[in-house]
Amino acid sequence: MIRDLVIENRTCRRFYQEVAIELETLRELVDLARLSASASNRQPLKYILSCDPQKNALIFPCLGWAGALKDWPGPPEGERPSAYIVILGDTEIAKSFFCDHGIAAQSIFLGAREKGLGGCIHASVKRDELSKALGIPPRYEILLVLSLGKPKEKVVIETIGPNGDFNYWRDSDNVHHVPKRRLDDIIIG
């Protein structure tokens, strides 16, 4: 079952924007992150939740979308995320956040997928703009933004071929293809 969930848990960047996500759902997802591993168990991550259109509109322009799809500026109005989780590092608790935020993001997205939701991890974030837009105090470092919604996009896993090209692409039916390396190519000893 975990394999199925991981396979299903593809990055999604087009959504049914009209399908709202409740604040309580976001809280349940962050609770999965709360229960996840943390370096030295310091638990320095803090979260900002957004599921109302006004706050969402402040966050959306601060995010980078699908750098490999050069002609696609990101989802148009109507296909944008219904919610966001901003993952912050509290510098009064830790100076380094190790990979806590990656683990938190994965827990959140596995939980989201189980609820029929999907989304995208954004490391490409205009951090100064977002900080200003949301009034985030300087003690918090913006680590990642997670966009969430009801997926509208079909995603297919491919196997990376001999040419080694790892770039994802979209076909003429707007199906998103994600190449993954072969198991025998990543286990080296």
| 51 in Cβ contact with 22 (< 8 Å) | yes
Is 107 in a helix, a strand, or coil? helix
Q: How far is the CB of 29 from ligand FMN (least distance, A)?
A: 17
Which residue of 47, 65, 72, 98 would you call a contact of ligand FMN, by CB under 6 A?
A: 65
Question: CA-CA distance, 189 to 127, in Å (whole number)?
Answer: 40
CA dist 62 → 81, 120, 125, 133, 188 (Å): 13, 14, 6, 9, 39
Which residue's beta carbon is nearest to the bound ligand FMN? 124
Which residue of 61, 64, 78, 116 would you call a contact of ligand FMN, by CB under 6 A?
A: 64
Site track 141-170 with ligand FMN (rule: CB under 6 A), x = hit: --------------x------------x--
Classify burial at 92, counting beta carbons within 10 Å of its beta carbon; exposed 0-12, middle 13-18, buried 19 or more. Answer: exposed
Applying CB under 6 A, does 86 fall inside the site for ligand FMN?
A: no
β-strands 169-170, 176-180: how paired?
antiparallel
Which residue of 39, 66, 103, 160 would you call a contact of ligand FMN, by CB under 6 A?
A: 66
Site track 92-131 with ligand FMN (rule: CB under 6 A), x = hit: ----------------------------xxxxx-------
Q: How far is the CB of 24 from ligand FMN (least distance, A)?
A: 26
Count other C-beta atoms under 10 Å from residue 80's C-beta: 20
Residues that bind ligand FMN (CB under 6 A): 10-11, 13, 64-66, 120-124, 155, 168, 178
